[in-house]
């Protein structure tokens, strides 16, 4: 039977059986070995280039290959502008809908892990703690998915959240079985891949065949391979990115100093909260800030956009820049930080998929 011909609950059942079998296998391994500790699972850590410290911060990047089983509409549509600076209303961005539907699935299938993934939920006035994950919403801006449409969703887990890979996958299959968008449109997760700095994207789970091809394998940020950048750097703000300065949010491309400050600040938050160690000290921050003065923003093609999100509890608006910026200078001292930025996202609402950047020469 074709995947589109499956009955409503059948796709989720295949996924559930596959996940249950894997979880049972892992449980048996833990019983035999007396329980796996994070230090046993982690890769050998090497110093994060330029930081002077060893980094135990881990990440696990997953990519879900999906296919729509129903026609699905995404409501964040409209015309006109909203906000200062003539911000353009961006239609078809699915980050908030993805975050909301996956979160509901996770709360249903793994409520304890849901609490780990949302550390400040229900704690008014608590210090800001970043969520230990970031989504990469589908790259298209389609407002309608026809039945049979193929799309991809990215999810990166950080630190202790890496131990919840199976729960994260099960939440995605639950989300697909229940649906997202308006009206709720179901989809099937066809397969899951994971990222390795050395090997790139590798298949991990074939949900059509119900077969695990590899176990989830977190990587250390120390394993990231810094790109060689000579002279010119092209930074693409692939999803709306809101960077805040003292004067307010930036509605155009940041200076290179502002970009590096956003990257190191985000990395520092993740490392201190989910690895118990700082990636950068005060002296290194000062050194990098001085070095940024020799790098210029030479060209930009960015747009200040707003995403309109219609949820049950009302309408919310999220803002940020989209487009590209080109910088010129000596990037050697920053290459490791730039490689990290593609993994962690920057700015506000990264768990919604905002702040995703891509690098190119």
Which DSSP helix (H) or strand (E) runs through 122? none
Mean pLDDT in residue range 2-10: 43
176 pLDDT more than 50: yes
The answer, yes or no, to whether residue 59 has pLDDT greater than 90, is yes
Q: What pLDDT does 328 receive?
A: 96
Closest by alpha carbon to 240, among 78, 73, 92, 63? 92
Interval 184-189 mean pLDDT:
95
**Helices assigned H by DSSP within the chain:** 10-33, 38-41, 95-109, 111-117, 165-178, 256-274, 282-292, 335-344
Higher pLDDT, 90 or 135: 135
Distance CA 111, CA 100 (A): 15
Instruction: Say if CB 325 and CB 103 are below 8 A apart.
Output: no
pLDDT at 28 over 80: no
Long-range contact pairs involving 197-203 (C-beta distance under 8 Å, separation at least 24): 197/223, 197/224, 197/225, 198/223, 198/225, 201/63
Other beta carbons within 10 angstroms of residue 340's beta carbon come to: 25
Q: What are the pLDDT digits (tens) for 100-118? A: 999 999 999 999 999 889 8
Closest of 57, 2, 83, 350 to residue 219, by C-alpha = 57
Q: How confident is the model at residue 120, as a pLDDT?
A: 66
* Measured distance CA(97)–CA(165) in Å, rounded: 21
Q: Which residues sit opposite 234 in a β-bridge?
A: 326, 360
Biggest CA–CA distance in the chain, Å, is 62
Token pair in block for residue 265? 């600040």
Neighbours of 52 (CB within 10 A): 12
Helix, strand, coil % (nearest 5) of the chain?
35, 30, 35
Structure tokens at 141: 């801006």
Dihedral of the CA atoms 25, 33, 57, 103 (nearest 10)?
A: 30
- Of 3.40.50.10700, 3.90.79.10, 3.30.300.30, 3.30.70.1900, the CATH number of 3-360 is 3.30.70.1900
Give the pLDDT of residue 361.
Answer: 58
Strands 88-90 and 244-245, by their bridges, are unpaired
3 state DSSP class of 76: coil
Q: What is the structure's pLDDT at 3? A: 42
- Cα gap 112→107, rounded to integer Å: 8
Q: Reduce the DSSP state of residue 61 to 3 states and report it.
A: strand
Nearest Cα residue to 160 out of 276, 10, 305: 276
As a whole number, mean pLDDT of residues 158-173 equals 94
Ordered strands of the 357-360 beta sheet: 88-90, 296-311, 314-329, 231-241, 357-360
What number is the average pLDDT over the span 157-162? 94
Please state the domain extents for the chain.
3-360
User: What is residue 166's predicted lDDT score, i.e. its pLDDT?
Assistant: 93
Which pLDDT tens digit goes with each residue over 227-253?
788 889 999 999 999 999 888 899 999
Tokens of 147: 């039945």
Q: What is the mean pLDDT of residues 24-49?
A: 34
For residues 165 and 218, give the distance between their C-alpha atoms in angstroms, rounded to a whole number.
Answer: 9
Token pair in block for residue 154: 């990215």
pLDDT tens, residue by residue, 138-151: 999 999 999 999 99
How confident is the model at residue 22, as a pLDDT? 47
């Amino acid at each position: 039977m074709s995947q589109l011909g499956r009955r409503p609950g059948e796709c989720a059942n295949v996924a559930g059986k596959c996940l249950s079998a894997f979880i049972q296998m892992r449980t048996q391994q833990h019983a035999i070995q007396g329980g796996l500790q994070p230090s046993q699972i982690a890769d050998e850590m090497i110093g994060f280039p330029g930081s002077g410290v060893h980094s135990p911060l881990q990440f696990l990047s997953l990519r879900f290959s999906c296919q729509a089983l129903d026609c699905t509409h995404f409501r964040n549509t409209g015309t006109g502008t909203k906000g200062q600076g003539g911000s353009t209303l961006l239609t078809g961005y699915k980050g908030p809908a993805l975050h909301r539907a996956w979160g509901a699935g996770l709360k249903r299938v793994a409520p304890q892990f849901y609490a780990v993934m949302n550390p400040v939920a229900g704690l008014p006035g608590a210090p800001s703690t970043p969520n230990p994950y970031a989504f990469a919403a589908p790259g298209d801006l389609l407002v309608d998915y026809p039945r049979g449409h193929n799309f991809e969703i990215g999810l990166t887990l950080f630190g202790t959240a890496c131990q919840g890979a199976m729960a994260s996958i099960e939440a995605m299959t639950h989300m697909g079985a229940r649906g997202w968008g308006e009206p709720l449109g179901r989809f099937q997760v066809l397969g899951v891949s994971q990222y390795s700095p050395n090997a790139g994207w590798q298949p991990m789970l074939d949900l059509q065949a119900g077969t695990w091809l590899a176990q989830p394998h977190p990587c250390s940020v120390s394993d990231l391979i810094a790109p060689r950048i000579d002279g010119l750097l092209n930074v693409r703000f692939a999803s709306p990115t809101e960077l805040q300065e003292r004067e307010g949010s930036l509605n155009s491309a940041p200076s290179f100093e502002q970009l590096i400050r956003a990257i190191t600040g985000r990395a520092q938050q993740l490392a201190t909260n989910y690895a118990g160690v700082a990636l950068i000290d005060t002296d290194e921050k000062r050194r990098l800030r001085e070095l940024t003065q020799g790098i210029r923003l030479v060209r930009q093609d960015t747009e200040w956009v707003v995403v309109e999100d219609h949820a049950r509890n009302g309408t919310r608006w999220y803002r940020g820049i989209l487009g590209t910026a080109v910088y010129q200078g000596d990037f050697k001292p920053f290459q490791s930080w730039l490689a990290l930025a593609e993994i962690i996202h920057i700015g506000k609402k990264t768990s919604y998929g905002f702040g995703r950047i891509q690098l190119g020469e």
